[in-house]
Structure 1
Amino acid sequence: MALARTNSSSSRCSKHTIPQNNRLLVANTPFKLDKALLAKRSATIASLLENNPSEDLSIFFQETPSEPDALELMARFCHGLNVEMTSDNIISLICLSNHLKMTDTHSPNNLLNNAISFLKQKILPSWNQIIRSLRASRGPTFQQAVEIGLLDCCIEALTAHVLSDPTILAQPIMVSNNNNNNNRPMRNSNVTRRRKLFGEGDHSNASSSDTETSLEDLTSLPVKMYKPIVEAMAQRQVPQENIAGSLVQYLNKHGDDSEAIEVIERLLPTSTTCTTNTNYLLYPYTLLFEMHSLAISLKASAECVAFLEDRIGKELYRATAEDLLALDLDIDSLRRVLKGFYGNFSDPDPNLSGLVAVAELLEEYLLEVAKEREMDARSFTEVAEMACSTSNVGTYRCSDGIYRAVDAYLDKHMELSESEREEVCRVLDFQKMSSQACNHAALNRRLPLRVVVQVLFVSQLQLRDNISKAVEGICSTNSNVDEGSRRRGNEEIKLAEDDEKWDDNDNGERQEIMGRCHDGKSCGKKGKKKMSLWKGMKRKLGCMGTSDYEALYDCNCQLTKKKKKKKKKKN
């Protein structure tokens, strides 16, 4: 019996309507057909009618996982009518004929074998036809394609195309490795690439013609299809730069989908550096920052966010303070970033340039946080401690940046109590600070008095070391210096050491000196002869390097002159 589709406007059947023997309700659309012809082609229907000849097939087909178009094509095939196979219906047609067991074993020249032959000859040789076929597979049809191995066949064919020409997947991004500050994610548009496609001579009845030259984009597929395809290509050694280029394109198209963000994070190569050419990056490092922001805003999984922070940390030396500020990290996230850096750091550079870069980065980041962010003293101290942990790297021992950040924070938060200010200053290590920074700290009224005393003490230790080195250098370069000169040099060093001991044993005197220096008053008190001698030695050896310390020295100048006049009178 010939198959004819009735007019749905004049003859509508409800879902539960029991049709006559010569009518079948398919997707709420009635069809005229012969059950015997269906049973002849389908082993499943034959078995169903054998057990119950009056079985309502409309209910059976409504429960069959397939597309309406595929059901209509199946019915046409069973009635001997022409079946037009295209890239849009071939996968659903294969899935349906497999579900109904329309095999050559049940009936020669059956639908399943014809559909598979069409797929092999007309679809798989063409990149475009495969992409269109997958894109047309929706809902239950896709799940069936996965179960019967149809998706694997498509993936294998796509991978073979890409191995022959990797640019079919995507063009490499090729960001310069020497211009990290400009490594911003490239917004790749859907560029129509003109090239000869695989599968030339595709004579299918699809919408495309044989001379079609526009290339279908893999990123047009939903994430559930895109993910297994890229995973398989990565396992088959498709070049990483092409995979990275495709992932960046996919992010640009599907960046509003949290599932896509999670998939891209898992598929991105672990390192941004291109293995074939180290002068270029596989993808911009700042792409990770963009993905992190998207993951937070789209509420992606906590695992995805943590992995992104670990990735950011692995190459933290590429970042800028602006990048970190844009992330708006909390304390735990910043720890994960730093853990990712130190846990994976391996720098062949003997100068440890990567470690130094991160140390400078965190000092700058801390300074910006102190100026721009509202943060309580405890949180600021925790961030400062993390920054301090990087400041003692090789020959990089200067922590002036930490001091500048602390000073900026104290300046912004004048309401802090003395104990809170001391807690903030606990992160300072004056031995790693330059002499200029120590000089500034000695006269900084924002610092607690106890901290200022510590600065002076460290400055005296540094000065003693400088004097010792200076005297030893003079003695080693001049081999004709007599023993008397050496003795005098040693006596000068001894005087400096005695002066240090004097300072250690008289904390009260030192505090009095500090108070007067801060008030700008004369420091000419009894018992400061040693202090005057110490400053005189500084002037003699040329160790007075700043106007601040010269002002501090001037406090004792008049006392020193008076003492010298008294000695002359006695003599």
Structure 2
Amino acid sequence: MKNKQQELFLEDPMHRLLEVEVNGEHTFVLAQDPLVNRCGRLAKIIRGTTILTACRVNALRVAFHDLPGGPQAFELAARFCYWHSSGSPRGGGFHITAANVSLLRCIAEYMEMTEEFSPRNLIKETENFLQNLVFWSWNEVLLILRSCEPVLPYAEKTHIVHRCVESLAWKASTISSTCQSPTSSTSPDSSSNQSSSANNKRLSRTWWFDDVCSLSMYLMERIVKAMISNNMDNRILARFLVHYVQTALPTLGYHSHHQRSTASTTRDEHILQKYTQKVQRELLETVIALLGHLDHGSAPCSSLFGLLRVTSALNSGRSCRKQLEKMIGHQLDKASLDDIVIPLRPTGSGSLYDVDLVLRLIDRFLSDQDIFSEMTFPTPINGPIMASQPPSGTSFRRALTKFEHSLTKVADLIDKYLVEIAADPQLKPFKFKSVAKALPDSARLMHDGLYRALDLYLQAHPAVSESETMELCKVVNYQKLSFEGCKHAAQNPRFPARLALQILLLQQAKLRDTIDHCFFKEGLRVSDSSRYKEAPVPAVNHPSAAPSAVDQPSPEFGLIIRQNEELKSDINKMQAKVSELEKLCKRMRSDMSSRRTRRLLC
């Protein structure tokens, strides 16, 4: 009896209708045979439907809750089934295009429209259409990739995203290497464009920026990774990533003056703001991770500092900031003073500048600039390893020169930074000393800049104790001070008197050595002239005898003599002041003792 009812049900045209509900959005009422003959998933569902359920209604009802592409994709698949079942454009024409091929391929995968059910089924047709994807134009491939975003999981499963990404990356790398835009005109009547040819050449390597920025963050990341694999110019990729942040963050609601949530903000607005900041952080972390895959120095240092400010405003993760600081530290010698003067976010310390950040950047710079890490030592095939020595070739000398030049530039930058932050009333002495001593002594050829920063700090912090002042004064190497710097330090009222006296004695010793050196040079000149130049020696008491050029002192020697006399006078004045202070102290002590004696007698 059951088999007889089932046969009657299948033979009745009224019972061969099929209602398909797609994702709760739309219901299609279609003939059953065209779909079942080509869709493996529908055939399995209908075979498993009980006869009792089928007899209650005039049509079978099937509901899909996760169909990729929604009603639009199902309608395209139904048109394909109708068109191929009748051999004529029944139910409307059907054409596979770049705009719908991704939807068709994904729903064909979902509905299991394979060759097992029907020849020339939808999977094979779409694969044939995508076979020559690499030869398509940029705009066509980009259109396919954009249409993959609504059906991304199935587009990944069917490798459409991979094929589109590889095609776009190859095209961008190839066209950018030739400095030509894919839409550039080469017509002979384009003489009007010759006036702007320089601008076209300058912008041609960035022609694809806006197109890739229009994609989602996930697809953008896939394209950039494919471009890195294709050995695209890392500087162009770094420029794109910075451009992507500048383009995407404003659309997500981020501004340079980021507004914080206030008490009057409603709960829904607060939830929306937190979600927006989360998306912004994910975008920023993705971009910084991609920058980490590029060569060192690809991104400009100013752009990296801009990203660092944004990460601070968005409370990004510690790993993200650490990676960004690593990239900045590697090229700290290219930074400017405006880059490193970063205000500190409001904290309990009350300091105005982020000094700890600068200390971390200096530490990263010194660890990355190890010149011996760039050298490769040969490994012996046989025998023990001998004591290794630094290579003395051209590569080592070049690396050493580069390191010394970078170190000098960083030292000059840090001296300017100390001058800038010296007036901060909340800057602790140990912080100032930490920044000043972060670089080795060999980094600075002269310590005048460091002395100027120290003087400004002591002037802005009169409450610093004498012991702390002595510790701060030790950061300056007074042997590397100029004559003017030593003279200023010796007369500086903010310096301890004994330190000023030591500076004067040190400078006098330096001048004495210089004078001895000059005497030695003059003696060499006299000996050389007497050896190789024969000239009559004038009489000593002859009135017309003019002094020779050897007997006349050089201008440099005269300057040294004058500087020595000035130092001697300064030392005498300092010693006189010290003696006066000692006499004053003795008088004060005698007065205090006499007062005590009077009190005891009274």
Provide the residue aligned with 1:156 in structure 2: 166
With over 3 angstroms needed to count, the CA separation of the structure-2 counterparts of 1:152 and 1:122, relative to structure 1, is closer
CA distance in 1, matches of 2:21, 2:506: 93
CA distance in 2, matches of 1:549, 1:195: 80
Deviation at 1:444, TM superposition (A): 0.7
Instruction: Point out the structure with the larger helix share.
Output: 2
CA distance in 2, matches of 1:147, 1:456: 79
Q: What value does the CA root-mean-square deviation take over the aligned residues?
A: 3.6
State which drifts further: 43-52 or 360-369. 43-52
Deviation at 1:125, TM superposition (A): 0.8
**Does residue 61 of the first structure (1) align with residue 72 of the second (2)?**
no
**Does residue 29 of the first structure (1) align with residue 26 of the second (2)?**
yes
Aligned pair partner of 1:330 in 348, 354, 360:
354
SS in 1 for 2:563: coil
SS in 2 for 1:30: strand
With over 3 angstroms needed to count, the CA separation of the structure-2 counterparts of 1:296 and 1:364, relative to structure 1, is same
With over 3 angstroms needed to count, the CA separation of the structure-2 counterparts of 1:450 and 1:398, relative to structure 1, is same
Gaps of 5+ in 2: 1-14, 84-90, 187-206, 255-279, 345-352, 372-397, 531-556, 577-602
Task: Indicate if the aligned counterparts of 2:16 and 2:32 stay in contact, CA closer than 8 A.
Answer: no
How much identity, in percent, do the aligned residues show? 27
Aligned pair partner of 1:134 in 112, 134, 145:
145
SS in 1 for 2:27: strand
Deviation at 1:458, TM superposition (A): 2.6
1:377-416 correspondence to structure 2 within 5 Å: 377-386=429-438, 389-393=439-443, 396-416=444-464
1 or 2 for the larger relative contact order (CA 8 Å, sep ≥6)?
A: 1
CA distance in 1, matches of 2:96, 2:528: 104
Deviation at 1:271, TM superposition (A): 4.5
Deviation at 1:59, TM superposition (A): 6.3
SS in 2 for 1:131: helix
Letter in 1 for 2:156: V
Deviation at 1:68, TM superposition (A): 2.8
Deviation at 1:41, TM superposition (A): 1.1
CA distance in 2, matches of 1:195, 1:112: 38
Provide the residue aligned with 1:530 in structure 2: none
CA distance in 2, matches of 1:292, 1:267: 15
How many corresponding residue pairs? 434
CA distance in 2, matches of 1:452, 1:467: 22
Provide the residue aligned with 1:252 in structure 2: 246
Provide the residue aligned with 2:368 in structure 1: 344
Deviation at 1:391, TM superposition (A): 4.3
1:499-530 CA-to-partner distances (Å, cap 9, x unmatched) read xxxxxxxxxxxxxxxxxxxxxxxxxxxxxxxx
Deviation at 1:47, TM superposition (A): 1.8
1:388-537 correspondence to structure 2 within 5 Å: 389-393=439-443, 396-479=444-527
Task: Indicate if the aligned counterparts of 1:391 and 1:399 stay in contact, CA closer than 8 A.
Answer: no
Q: What TM-score does the superposition give when structure 2 sets the normalisation length?
A: 0.64
With over 3 angstroms needed to count, the CA separation of the structure-2 counterparts of 1:471 and 1:556, relative to structure 1, is farther
SS in 2 for 1:33: strand
With over 3 angstroms needed to count, the CA separation of the structure-2 counterparts of 1:424 and 1:192, relative to structure 1, is farther
Letter in 2 for 1:392: S
**Does residue 544 of the first structure (1) align with residue 544 of the second (2)?**
no
1:208-238 CA-to-partner distances (Å, cap 9, x unmatched) read xxxxxx9771221111001111111211223
Deviation at 1:94, TM superposition (A): 0.9
CA distance in 2, matches of 1:376, 1:223: 43
Letter in 2 for 1:411: Q
Provide the residue aligned with 2:375 in structure 1: none
CA distance in 1, matches of 2:71, 2:177: 37
With over 3 angstroms needed to count, the CA separation of the structure-2 counterparts of 1:192 and 1:156, relative to structure 1, is closer
Q: What TM-score does the superposition give when structure 1 sets the normalisation length?
A: 0.67
1:93-492 correspondence to structure 2 within 5 Å: 93-120=104-131, 125-139=136-150, 141-166=151-176, 194-195=184-185, 217-255=211-249, 256=254, 257-268=280-291, 270-271=294-295, 283-326=299-342, 330-345=354-369, 348=399, 350=401, 352-371=404-423, 374-386=426-438, 389-393=439-443, 396-479=444-527
With over 3 angstroms needed to count, the CA separation of the structure-2 counterparts of 1:219 and 1:426, relative to structure 1, is same
CA distance in 2, matches of 1:304, 1:355: 26
CA distance in 1, matches of 2:363, 2:573: 49
